[in-house]
Amino acid sequence: MKKDTLKRHSQIANDVMHYIYRYISTDINLDELSMNLSISKFHMHRVFKEEFEQNIYETIKEVRLQKAASLLLTNKSSTISNIARNCGYSSQAAFIRVFKEMFKTTPKRWRNGEYKEIFLRKSLKKLDIKPKILKFQSKKAYYIRHKGTKKEFDNSWEKLNTWILIKGYKNFNKINFFHDNLALKDFENSRFVSAIIFDEELVEDSFPYLTMPEQICARFSFSGSKTEFVDFIFWVYFDWLINSGYEANTEPSFIIYKNDSYLTNEGIIDLDFYLAISM
């Protein structure tokens, strides 16, 4: 496949995913989306699956249910039927059915604490980390998509580092996006994006990019081992978020690395973790 075609396909997939995140609480109209992108619905589905290794309908279901799982814990005053509607389900019965298929329990039992038995493999660690609430400005991120296996993770960063060296770029940050809630899906099967963001606007058309939206985030500083990072993620979603008075929105969480030690398989992870929030 030609480079221009690959770039075009990446852009189509990014546009579809952005549309899903933006309109996840509505009855998403894929016919309208394909018309807006000036492509056939069949081509849109094929390109999306090539890029994400998952069809659009399954992706919509995952995003909706991960949002619902979070809202059930953070939005304590809303009824289950209201949360179902806020996640794009007009039928409460359909919502309960698909929720049970994914999480092996009902929304009511999940809300009442059964999530602890399903996802917390050990007692939740209490961490004394106070995040900073800030506005993250929109930026272009030059990226490679991959699953969370060590091989794919290492390969993506090797390619990005090589691109940086060849181009001789300076003043950038290394970043990973998480398209899945890492407290609800294991790392190896989660969808990641490894990317480079620059301090200043870059004129670059040889590498695919996505545009990170302006968003309100809770920024947590973390330093520790990978095992400790897993504990930290569970604490953020199942302790801090639940008790914070905020809700996680559907924009992917992401990390910005403070050094390269983890990316070169040495030392500890030293990073800032950003969680997009709303009220």
Task: List the one residue out of 69, 189, 190, 180 whose CA is nearest residue 118.
Answer: 69
In a domain, 124, yes or no: no
CA distances from 231 to 37, 56, 118, 142, 201 (A): 41, 31, 15, 29, 36
Report how many domains make up the chain. 2
**The tokens 């990014």 sit on which residue?**
14
Which of 271, 269, 272 lies closest to 225, judged by CA?
Answer: 269
Give tens-digit pLDDT for 109-146: 999 988 888 776 556 778 889 999 999 999 999 988 88
Say what the pLDDT of residue 121 is: 59
Domain check: are 250 and 192 in the same one? yes
Q: What is the CATH number of the domain that holds 48?
A: 1.10.10.60
Are 30 and 77 part of one and the same domain? yes
- Give the residue among 193, 155, 202 at the shortest CA–CA distance from 174: 193
189 CB burial (10 A radius; 0-12, 13-18, 19+)? exposed
Q: Are residues 183 and 86 in the same domain?
A: no
Over residues 157-184, mean pLDDT: 89
* Strand partners for 195: 143, 175
pLDDT value for 152: 87
112 with 184, same domain? no
How does pLDDT run across 244-264, given as a tens digit for each residue?
A: 988 878 788 999 999 876 666
- Asked if 106 and 238 sit in the same domain, the reply is no
pLDDT over 90 percentage in the chain: 39
CB 76 within 8 A of CB 117: no
Does 144 share its domain with 104? Answer: no
Q: Which of 64, 93, 117 is the last residue of a domain?
A: 117
Amino acid occupying residue 205: D
pLDDT bucket at 97, cuts 50 / 70 / 90: very high
Going through the chain in order, the beta strands assigned E by DSSP cover 132-136, 139-147, 172-178, 191-198, 209-212, 215-224, 247-248, 253-257, 269-278
Residues 141 and 250 in one domain: yes
Q: Which of 69, 93, 117 is the last residue of a domain?
A: 117
pLDDT higher than threshold 90 for residue 150: no
Q: Give me the domain span that covers residue 87.
A: 3-117
60 and 150 share one domain: no
Structure token digits, residue 185: 């899906």
Q: Give tens-digit pLDDT for 38-61.
A: 999 999 999 999 888 889 999 999
Stretch 89-95: mean pLDDT: 92
Residue 217 and residue 274 in contact, taking contact as beta carbons nearer than 8 Å:
yes
DSSP string, 245-279: S-EE-SSPEEEEESSSTTTTT-S-EEEEEEEEEE-
Within-domain flag for 209: yes
